[in-house]
Homo-oligomer: A and B are copies of this chain.
Amino acid sequence: MALTQNTVVDTAVTILQQFGLADLSMRRLAKELDVQVGALYWHVKNKQELLAQVAAKLLNTPQLSVNAEDFSAPADAILQLSRRLYLALLPIQDSPEVIEVATAMQVTELAPVLQLRDLLESSGLSTEQARHGQQLLLNHILGSVAFRQNLVQLDVDAPLADGFDWGLQRAVAGLIS
């Protein structure tokens, strides 16, 4: 099996899911693929670009999209999509950092994030307002995931009531006045 960009990214995803970002090093990745480190740089420009592609693999799945027609109001679709994103990212260690790298490079298109903006626009916000609303919601999703993952990591008893959903509802209520 020849080394391709796809197998590199896929293996990176697996390492991330199983061991977290701290273990996702170029050297570890090379070892997993039975290859020398330098070989990776033929298929991927650098680690940042690799992480962006990992983020795309994580988010660009049909499971993370929502059918606007299934909801009576756009606000409900927004809530649903946000919850799906939150729940999908929660079990993947350090996923917020990875997503942030991808959005920062912004060359990679993350479908659910774009849909979030679309839904905000179709709920009556202007293009610019929708972009800012998307920012607010994404900040809350990623921040809440990171916070929760830190609690687990430090063996602190996680409060049963999460706070994510409450904050999400208030944010959406504030956005769609």
Contacts and interface: CB of A to CB of B under 8 A. Distances in A.
A interface, over-half SS: helix
Closest 5 CB pairs of A and B: A174-B174, A139-B143, A132-B163, A136-B167, A104-B150
A161 interface: yes
Nearest to A145: B139
A133 B170 contact: yes
Interface string A116-147: 00000000000011011101101110111011
A167 B133 contact: yes
User: Contact residue range for chain A?
Assistant: 35 or more
Q: How many copies does the complex hold?
A: 2
Given A133-B170, A136-B170, 8 more contacts: A104-B150, A106-B156, A132-B163, A135-B144, A136-B171, A139-B143, A142-B143, A173-B174
Nearest to A136: B167
A140 B172 CA distance: 13
Contact of A174 (B100, B105, B170): B170
Contacts of A173: 174, 177
Contacts of A175: 170, 174
A105 to B, nearest CB: 7
Contacts of A167: 132-133, 135-136, 139
Interface string A150-177: 1001101000010110110011111101
Contacts of A161: 128
A52 B163 CA distance: 24
